[in-house]
Amino acid sequence: MTSAELRARGDRDQDVVILRGDLDTVNAAAAADAVLAASAGGRCVIVDLSAVEFIDCCALGALARVRGLARRAGGDVLLAAPREPVRRLLDLTGLSGIFSIHATAAAADACRDSPRQTAVRAALPGGQPR
């Protein structure tokens, strides 16, 4: 069972989606929909994975697809605080080199406006400086 909580940050063009539980084939679409809704309009979304116990390839693929959609719209999806099993799957699938992964949601928030992050977004297809 998984749940998603959206925490909006009104002073920024950004939201935090907190995912909890197990992310697998059964609930991958619901988790991806929550992240996709938060990224509407080119927003930068932080996905807090600190409460995710397990993630399978289907759910990870769904998050990667949402990241692609967000980037094409001028936004981004940053991952924060993945536990070891989640981090291991990100590494095994090669997605740790695709996603921007941070130790905490606060670290992802700080990175969002860094000159390097803006340059990386601008250099990639669909990326736009913000």
Q: How much is the pLDDT for 111?
A: 78
Whole domain around residue 16: which residue ranges? 2-104
* CATH code at position 51: 3.30.750.24
In-domain check, residue 120: no
pTM for the full model?
0.80
Distance of alpha carbon 6 from alpha carbon 10, whole angstroms: 12
In-domain check, residue 128: no
In-domain check, residue 129: no
In-domain check, residue 37: yes
Sign of the CA dihedral running 116, 98, 44, 19: negative
Q: How much is the pLDDT for 6?
A: 55
In-domain check, residue 34: yes
Q: How much is the pLDDT for 11?
A: 47
Q: How much is the pLDDT for 59?
A: 94
Q: How many domains are there within the chain?
A: 1
Q: How much is the pLDDT for 110?
A: 86
In-domain check, residue 127: no
In-domain check, residue 44: yes
Q: Residue 42's CB: how many other CB atoms inside 10 A?
A: 15
In-domain check, residue 124: no
Q: How much is the pLDDT for 13?
A: 57
* CA distances in angstroms from 65 to 62, 92, 115, 116, listed in the order given: 5, 17, 25, 23
Average pLDDT of each block of 10 consecutive residues along the chain (130 residues)? 57 77 92 91 92 94 96 94 96 95 92 53 41
